[in-house]
Amino acid sequence: MAEKCPFCGHQNMAAKQVEYLYRLGERFMMVTDVPCLECEFCGEQYFDAAVLKRIEADFQAIQHTGKQPLRTIRVPVEAYSSL
């Protein structure tokens, strides 16, 4: 499975579990423990299409069929120019 990094061409790709932030407009869903391959040189992360489809399907289930997520967090929003 591990190959060259398509972004920088480095050879070492590590299998990791990371946090993934899915966004659709102003709606977000954070998913933990998402499997990916991460380039050990440039840090670019690569996700299987099946993994991303599963996340999108879960987001749709939460938005449209009332599925309850594991937990919900509140996120503050700021404009840099108003700091």
Is residue 61 part of the contact set for Zn ion (CB under 5 A)?
no
Cβ 47 to Zn ion shortest distance, Å? 15
Is residue 10 part of the contact set for Zn ion (CB under 5 A)?
yes
Is residue 5 part of the contact set for Zn ion (CB under 5 A)?
yes
Q: Among 52, 54, 40, 30, which residue's Cα sits nearest to residue 8?
A: 40
Q: Judged by CB under 5 A, which stretch of 15-23, 24-32, 34-42, 75-83 contacts Zn ion?
A: 34-42
Is residue 16 part of the contact set for Zn ion (CB under 5 A)?
no
Ramachandran category for residue 59: left, alpha or beta (phi over 0 → left; psi -120 to 50 → alpha): alpha
DSSP SS3 for 49: helix
